[in-house]
Chains A and B, each alone.
Chain A
Amino acid sequence: MALNRKIAYIDLSTGEIEIKPIPLEVRKKFLGGRGLDAYLLYNNTEQGCDPLGPGNTLMISGGILTATCASATARTHVMAKSPLTGLLGSANMGGFFAPEMAWAGFHHLVIKGKAEKPVYIWIHNGEIEIRDATNLWGKTTTETQWAIREELGDDEIKSAVIGPAGENLVRFANVMTGIKNSAGRTGMGCVMGSKNLKAVAARGTMDIKIAHPVDALEYNKRFIDQITSAKVNQTQGTLGTPFIWGATNSWGGIRTRNFQYNQCENADDIEPERIDEICEETMGPYHMTGCFGCQVHCRAQYKIPSGPYAGKYDEGPEYTSQGAFGGEPDCKNAVTVLTGNHLVDQYGMDNLETGSIISWAMELYELGIITSKDTDGLDLKFGNDEALLEMITRICYRDGWLADTLADGGIPASEKIGKDSFSYLIQVKGMSNLHSDERATPALALNIATGSRGSDHLRSRPAIDLYHLPEEVLRKIYSNPVPYDGPLSSEHTSYDGKPWMVFWQENCYMGVDCLGICKYHTTFLGATLPNFEDWTKVLYYNTGLEMTPKEIWDVAERCYNIERLFNLREGLQREDLKKGDMLNHRYFDEPCRRGAIDVIGATIDRKKFKKMIDEYYGHHGWDENGVPTPETLKRLGLDQEPSHLL
């Protein structure tokens, strides 16, 4: 059964491994995946611990439904204290790793300590071994995975690995599996590197008993039909996430030249259709691929068509790479985007953070805050594709003063660079923003300001706010499974009811992250996709666990509050520009210069923003400083934390 998958505590300093069952009581409180990871993080780290020290604890997990007959349960979650932000580190990836770990008998790994020399963890059919990784050190992400397969003689091994960026302690190094699946944000690969942990490899052939197999199969079919019939997923299945770029850019929601513009002009070469053309030219008509058990198949396959990396195979690029290596640095060539994407995939480095931080440096270069002396002669101006690609490699290897500085992340870099550099850094809680521009969309601005892992769209973005759905439809979505009769507006420029939408999405995304399901299978980009009500059924049919939609909602809220408690313990303060629920001043002070009529001139209104935060805290049951009240903690059963239940 899914419920008998185990948790393993692995101490890399001593080599001790302890394997335990996960009590049902814990499952009912936290389910699994990100939620249970958050509980484990709060319970297994000391306040103020060094993110790169042996005291930081790294969790790698699958969700409670991972590898069951629910749809698209491919997600792997990785959590630790972030070396990029000093707050919650949390990242999630697709692929095939978590299912393999589940077939090998495990749902959660809790990794402490630091190995003396490079090691990797080998998990197979109920057993765990720590193995020497000296020969793997220095290898790229894919080289590492293939080398492990060769060493252990099994082509079906799935590994979560770091590349050279993680080894070099680039603060935004990621954890990767397959060609491009990345637990990208908050520097989880840097934590692995600090522990001398090159990879976790898994292979399993253990049965996961399905509680009600016939119902599970039939419901999965229904689920898939619902998901694949959504227009948004059909488009994803042909163009991948780049499809978002076209509409967003023409509307004026793509930040360009760091944050100078909100639209990338004359950028036909990086439009989704052009990228799709290259994929087709290099990989044939069927060039979409998918994660385990998923029928959305949103990932494109491509070979780089020209340039120094011509012929190299990769997957993607996602919407994020279009922004990171296209719009933000104002480099408008598909080959640059595809090459940048390939480089970060091979190095194991977050594309979004990498592109954003280089674009920030480009703006500083333009302003004269940094000069060619700092760049070792590199002409780091906007639109210099070669300089962009060169900087990616330099950052990975910390080659030169500027690259070494940027590799430490935006805030430490701004402290080192000095002058006015910090005010140009587009970040929240120390993590760079996605390349989308939220000045015309208060709901999305609130989402990035409050995200528990720093600026991020995958924690609480009410993306359907942009669809102008009739208010009664919105109300139907956002009044389940808990009633809501407050204000709600279909108008994306409005501030009304947006705090509730963000709060609701937080719980929705936490829900999928606990279950181990992909966000494209819930209320994210598609308004008609499954959520709480449907999850009770897949949960019951697959695991036998009976929960109401409200109980799953409560789990999500509980887990989100644990993340909040962790952040507060590590120093989050409401209006702190470096560690708070606050946006860069440019959101308030610089009006959008381009885009549609409802976008040009838009800024976020400070007063209304503050009111949104107040309201948002109120929905949570947090006080005016964003601290959960004793009543809230009691209601969620969190008044005894850390409670060490397992």
Chain B
Amino acid sequence: MEKVLMINYQKCTGCRLCELVCSVMHDGVSNPARSRIKVMKWEAEGLYVPMSCQQCEDAPCMNVCPVKAISRDEDLGFVMVDYDICIGCRSCVAVCPFGAMNYNSIDKKVFKCDLCGGDPQCVRFCEVNAIEYVDAERLSIYKRKDAAERLSVAQKEAGALQAAM
């Protein structure tokens, strides 16, 4: 079954371990500039949002590629770049609505999340579960449950408030 990364940014502590292990796993180096996942930060407010590839169904990067270097892995469903075909034009970088297609000026290559072949290291190392690897079709169930919980808490609070008045 196809699985995807589910990111709950509220849980993110902003430590950026995901960026570190991503670059070590893929390139054998520590360098966040090579990470496929990136924590965007608003430090003055204490807000941290990890951003990674959404493995879009109708992927703009795949559509825009002039040489058809981008395709979908049939087993795991992630979108991947074939470097034998890629000409490094960066059209995919320009078109990605999430900024998840990266360009690395050291190797002069575009690069993106490949789910580490089914064992995403960002997920494995994130102890607070800000990033989880879940069945694609269950993604909305998790979100729905979260929302329902919030709703229920809010209703209880409202009830208590009304009773107090």
- Chain A: residues with CB nearer than 8 A to chain B? 67-69, 96, 103, 142, 146, 155, 178-179, 205-210, 213, 216-217, 220-221, 224, 228, 283-295, 297, 301, 313, 315
Q: How far is the CB of A96 from chain B (nearest CB, A)?
A: 8
- Whether A286 touches B11, Cβ cut-off 8 Å, given contacts A210-B28, A217-B121, is yes
- Whether A207 touches B29, Cβ cut-off 8 Å, given contacts A288-B13, A289-B13, is yes
Q: Is the CB of B43 within 8 A of A207?
A: no
26 residue pairs from A and B, CB less than 8 Å apart: A67-B30, A69-B21, A103-B31, A179-B46, A205-B31, A205-B106, A207-B27, A207-B29, A207-B106, A208-B30, A209-B29, A213-B28, A213-B29, A217-B21, A221-B125, A284-B10, A286-B10, A286-B12, A289-B15, A289-B48, A290-B14, A290-B15, A291-B15, A293-B20, A295-B128, A313-B45
- Chain B: residues with CB nearer than 8 A to chain A? 10-17, 20-21, 24-25, 27-34, 41, 43-46, 48, 105-106, 121, 124-125, 127-128
What residue in chain A is nearest B42 (Cβ atoms)?
Answer: A155
Q: Is the CB of B46 within 8 A of A69?
A: no
Residues of A within 8 A of B29 (CB): 207-210, 213
Residues of A within 8 A of B21 (CB): 69, 217, 220
- Whether A290 touches B20, Cβ cut-off 8 Å, given contacts A205-B31, A208-B29, A221-B124, is no
- Chain A interface mostly: loop
What residue in chain A is nearest B9 (Cβ atoms)?
Answer: A286
What residue in chain B is nearest A208 (Cβ atoms)?
Answer: B30
Question: Which one of B28, B44, B46 has the highest number of Cβ atoms from chain A below 10 Å of its Cβ?
Answer: B46
Residues of B within 8 A of A224 (CB): 125, 127
Q: Is the CB of B24 within 8 A of A217?
A: yes
Distance of A206 Cα from B27 Cα, bound (Å): 13
Distance of A179 Cα from B43 Cα, bound (Å): 7
Nearest 5 pairs of A and B residues by beta carbon: A205-B33, A290-B15, A207-B29, A213-B28, A297-B13
What residue in chain B is nearest A216 (Cβ atoms)?
Answer: B24
Q: Is the CB of A207 within 8 A of B10?
A: no
Q: Is the CB of A207 within 8 A of B30?
A: yes
Distance of A631 Cα from B48 Cα, bound (Å): 54
Q: How far is the CB of A509 from chain B (nearest CB, A)?
A: 22
Q: How far is the CB of B153 from chain A (nearest CB, A)?
A: 10
Residues of B within 8 A of A68 (CB): 30
Q: Is the CB of B31 within 8 A of A69?
A: no
What residue in chain A is nearest B32 (Cβ atoms)?
Answer: A103
Distance of A207 Cα from B33 Cα, bound (Å): 9
Residues of A within 8 A of B121 (CB): 217
Distance of A217 Cα from B44 Cα, bound (Å): 31
Distance of A292 Cα from B17 Cα, bound (Å): 7
Question: Which one of B105, B121, B125 has the highest number of Cβ atoms from chain A below 10 Å of its Cβ?
Answer: B125
Q: How far is the CB of B36 from chain A (nearest CB, A)?
A: 15
Q: How far is the CB of A355 from chain B (nearest CB, A)?
A: 24
Q: Is the CB of A295 within 8 A of B31?
A: no
Distance of A173 Cα from B128 Cα, bound (Å): 35
Question: Which one of A288, A290, A301, A313 has the highest number of Cβ atoms from chain B below 10 Å of its Cβ?
Answer: A290
Distance of A228 Cα from B17 Cα, bound (Å): 14
Q: Is the CB of B34 within 8 A of A207?
A: yes
Q: Is the CB of B127 within 8 A of A292?
A: no
- Whether A209 touches B127, Cβ cut-off 8 Å, given contacts A179-B43, A290-B14, A293-B15, is no
- Whether A69 touches B33, Cβ cut-off 8 Å, given contacts A217-B24, A228-B127, is no
Residues of B within 8 A of A142 (CB): 44
Residues of A within 8 A of B45 (CB): 313
Distance of A474 Cα from B121 Cα, bound (Å): 36
Distance of A297 Cα from B129 Cα, bound (Å): 13
What residue in chain B is nearest A291 (Cβ atoms)?
Answer: B15
Distance of A205 Cα from B127 Cα, bound (Å): 26
Distance of A216 Cα from B121 Cα, bound (Å): 13
Q: How far is the CB of B127 from chain A (nearest CB, A)?
A: 4
What residue in chain A is nearest B17 (Cβ atoms)?
Answer: A293
Distance of A179 Cα from B48 Cα, bound (Å): 14
Q: How far is the CB of A199 from chain B (nearest CB, A)?
A: 16
Distance of A146 Cα from B24 Cα, bound (Å): 30
Q: Is the CB of B46 within 8 A of A213?
A: no
Distance of A210 Cα from B27 Cα, bound (Å): 9
Distance of A289 Cα from B16 Cα, bound (Å): 11
Q: Is the CB of A210 within 8 A of B30?
A: yes
Distance of A210 Cα from B105 Cα, bound (Å): 20
- Whether A295 touches B30, Cβ cut-off 8 Å, given contacts A210-B24, A213-B24, A284-B10, is no
Q: How far is the CB of A15 from chain B (nearest CB, A)?
A: 30
Residues of B within 8 A of A294 (CB): 15, 17
Q: How far is the CB of A92 from chain B (nearest CB, A)?
A: 18
Q: Is the CB of A206 within 8 A of B25?
A: no
- Whether A292 touches B15, Cβ cut-off 8 Å, given contacts A207-B106, A221-B124, is yes
Q: How far is the CB of A149 from chain B (nearest CB, A)?
A: 10
Q: How far is the CB of B21 from chain A (nearest CB, A)?
A: 6
- Whether A297 touches B15, Cβ cut-off 8 Å, given contacts A69-B21, A286-B10, A289-B46, is yes
Distance of A178 Cα from B42 Cα, bound (Å): 11
What residue in chain B is nearest A225 (Cβ atoms)?
Answer: B127
Distance of A290 Cα from B16 Cα, bound (Å): 9
Given contacts A205-B105, A297-B13, A297-B128, 5 further A-B contacts (CB under 8 A): A205-B32, A209-B28, A213-B24, A290-B13, A301-B46
Q: Is the CB of B24 within 8 A of A313?
A: no
Distance of A288 Cα from B11 Cα, bound (Å): 9
Question: Which one of B13, B17, B34, B48 has the highest number of Cβ atoms from chain A below 10 Å of its Cβ?
Answer: B13
Distance of A217 Cα from B43 Cα, bound (Å): 28
Distance of A68 Cα from B31 Cα, bound (Å): 9
What residue in chain A is nearest B41 (Cβ atoms)?
Answer: A155
Distance of A155 Cα from B46 Cα, bound (Å): 14
What residue in chain A is nearest B121 (Cβ atoms)?
Answer: A217
Q: Is the CB of A295 within 8 A of B127?
A: yes
Distance of A240 Cα from B11 Cα, bound (Å): 16
Q: Is the CB of B30 within 8 A of A289?
A: no
What residue in chain B is nearest A287 (Cβ atoms)?
Answer: B46
Distance of A291 Cα from B29 Cα, bound (Å): 20
Residues of A within 8 A of B34 (CB): 207
